[in-house]
Chain A
């Protein structure tokens, strides 16, 4: 099983700052990585798929990059609504797995 590691578990930033959230895979997953945002009491929302493609309706301030084992979700300028938990997910191999998440909190 491919393990996705997201560190730090918590990231404290201020609105307007740039956020960089890493995700590392235990083996190469090519570009088969997605990012989801989850707010309290809500289901996850797909933000980015295939490393760098924004899902429908996702603002341009969200971008993804990486390949192989190291990936990054970047939020160029944080809006108040961006403070949430972010999960990465791989589809390179069975079973599809998620990282443990990074909580983005207001500093």
Chain B
């Protein structure tokens, strides 16, 4: 069974860069799309972006200029960087797997069937 675990600093200062890594276990990172999704406290979900193992990425246009994603297949992990953060970026950040295995079916499905537990990142001085 696939497991995802987010890691990274929980406190980031305004104007600095938020950096998170998602480590995947129980499945190869190579044949899926991988996503970042965030949730401000007590609010709804916002899709940030996705990456494939080729390094191909897509981002939410509302965040695109500030988002960088990368993947390290040797470590079975992928990462998110969000630059120039403000208090509005304070949220629980989740990594999530796309439902479709690209080795067996058309992908991405753009549904998220496995999630990390989430990590709360606070932007504050």
| Chain A interface residues (CB < 8 Å from chain B) | 32, 34, 36, 42-46, 49-50, 55-56, 87, 89, 91, 94-101
8 Å CB contact of A95 from B60, B96, B115: B60
| Chain B interface residues (CB < 8 Å from chain A) | 43-47, 58, 60-62, 94, 96, 99, 109-113, 115-118
Give the CA-CA distance A100 to B45 in the complex, in Å: 7
Give the CA-CA distance A94 to B96 in the complex, in Å: 18
Residue of B nearest to A46 (CB): B113
Main secondary structure of the interface of A (DSSP, over half): loop
Residues of A within 8 A of B116 (CB): 43
Residue of A nearest to B35 (CB): A96
Residues of A within 8 A of B94 (CB): 43-44
Are B61 and A49 in contact (CB-based, < 8 A)? no
Are A49 and B109 in contact (CB-based, < 8 A)? yes
Are A46 and B61 in contact (CB-based, < 8 A)? no
- Chosen A-B contacts, 10 in total, with CB atoms closer than 8 Å, are A36-B45, A44-B94, A46-B113, A55-B99, A55-B113, A91-B111, A95-B60, A96-B47, A96-B110, A98-B44
